[in-house]
Amino acid sequence: MTNRNSKIAVVTGAGSGIGRAVAVELLRAGWSVALAGRRAEPLAQTAALVPEAAFLAVPTDVSRPEDVDALFTAAVERFGRVDLLFNNAGTFGPGGVPVEDLPYDAWRHVVDTNLNGAFLCAQAAYRRMKEQDPQGGRIINNGSVSAHAPRPHSVAYTATKHALTGLTKSLSLDGRPYRIAVGQLDIGNAATDMTARMQTGALQANGEVAPEPVMDVADVARTVRHMAELPLEANVQFATVLATTMPYIGRG
């Protein structure tokens, strides 16, 4: 059942990893959450972790404008408004592929998911937040430490995460008149399926392969919740949460 007093969130990429952890954190905190992801089964598995909570699962390809519109339409029809978008859906693309060998289709897939998808979801959230009463809401974009320092052979992922920083800044500025707060969380080495290889060995800038420390993904989720629960008069514009001893400060 919907808790009429709860805040309403849309979480993309909610079927696994960071998206699942954030969705569960918000659901346990009493938020009502629209779970978005490509496949229905992982979304159902996420929802089953908090069975008593108010949720809506909407299979969504964020690179398709019609899917994104359907997601936000369903969220508003079910819950009445949107208070938060956690813009999380993303992909690294094929790992270990040098620039000269990266297929254009692979580049396009990463750009369509990480950047175009983030724009489409932010645009849809912005429209609802501007129109609803009371007006306003918050968008949190899932960035990466790659927005500051790339890994080897990560040209598509890194380019999109740099672009996401520009998207965050522009949306933050444009949202001011409408009480729409926009921030970005840059994440480094959260323990998910996507980062599992780092614990056994990741390519470093000097050409060596070395294991890297990771952090509990629940620490990311708690950080997102903190950002989400600030009053709209306050905003975490940019934050970085990462495994303390990962090779980021001094990478290279």
Please give the pLDDT value at position 251.
57
Query: Comparing C-alpha atoms, which of 110, 225, 124 is closest to residue 164?
Result: 110
**Which amino acid appears at position 52 of this protein?**
E
As given in the structure block, the two tokens for residue 35 are: 């779970």
The H or E element that residue 140 is part of is strand 137-142
The parts of the chain modelled with pLDDT lower than 50 are 1-2, 252
pLDDT digits (tens, 9 = 90+) for 60-104: 999 999 999 999 999 999 999 999 999 999 998 887 789 999 999
Q: Is the pTM of this model over 0.85?
A: yes
Rounded Cα distance between 39 and 37, Å, is 6
Ordered by where they begin, the domains of the chain are 8-242 (3.40.50.720)
104 is a catalytic site residue: no
Separation CA 191–CA 207 (nearest Å): 23
User: Largest alpha-carbon pair distance within the chain?
Assistant: 55
Question: What was the pLDDT predicted at 95?
Answer: 77
What is the overall mean pLDDT for the chain? 92
Q: Which of 126, 157, 178, 248 is catalytic?
A: 157
* 215 neighbors 191 (Cβ within 8 angstroms): yes
Rounded Cα distance, 145 and 220, in Å: 13
What pLDDT, on a 0 to 100 scale, did the predictor assign at position 1? Answer: 47
